[in-house]
Structure 1
C-alpha cells in the first residue's frame, strides 16, 4: 500500500472542510426557506388583527 504524501493529506482535509461548510450552508438555506414560507401567513394575520382593532375603535 502506498503511503499518502503530505500534499494528499492536506488536500483531503481541505475537501472535508469544504464539504462540512457546504452541509452547513445547505442547512441554513433550508431554514430560511421554511421561515420564508410562514411570512405571508403572519403578514395576513397581522393585517387582519389591525383591521379588527380599527373596526372596534370605530364601532
Structure 2
C-alpha cells in the first residue's frame, strides 16, 4: 500500500518536472527572441546619426546652390 502511494507521488513529481522543463524552454525561446530584437534595435539606432548628418549636408548643398545660382 505504501509503495503505491510512493509510486503515485513519484509520477506526480515527474509530471510536474516535465511541465517545468517545458516552461523553461518557452522562457529561453522568449529570451532569445527579445535579445534578437534588442540587437536589431541597437544596429538600427547606430544609423540614425549618419542619416541626420547626410540630410544636413544635402540640405546645406541645396541651400548653397539656391543662394549661388
What TM-score results when the alignment is normalised by the length of structure 1? 0.87
Identify the structure with the greater helix proportion.
Answer: 2
| Runs of 4+ deviating beyond 3 Å | none
Q: For each residue in 1:3-50, what CA deviation from the matched residue of structure 2 results, as whole angstroms up to 9, or x when unmatched?
A: 662111110000000000000100111111111111111110001101
Higher Rg of the two aligned structures: 2
For structure 1, the 5+ residue unaligned runs are none
For structure 2, the 5+ residue unaligned runs are 1-9
* Structure 2 residue corresponding to 1:13, chosen from 11, 14, 22: 22
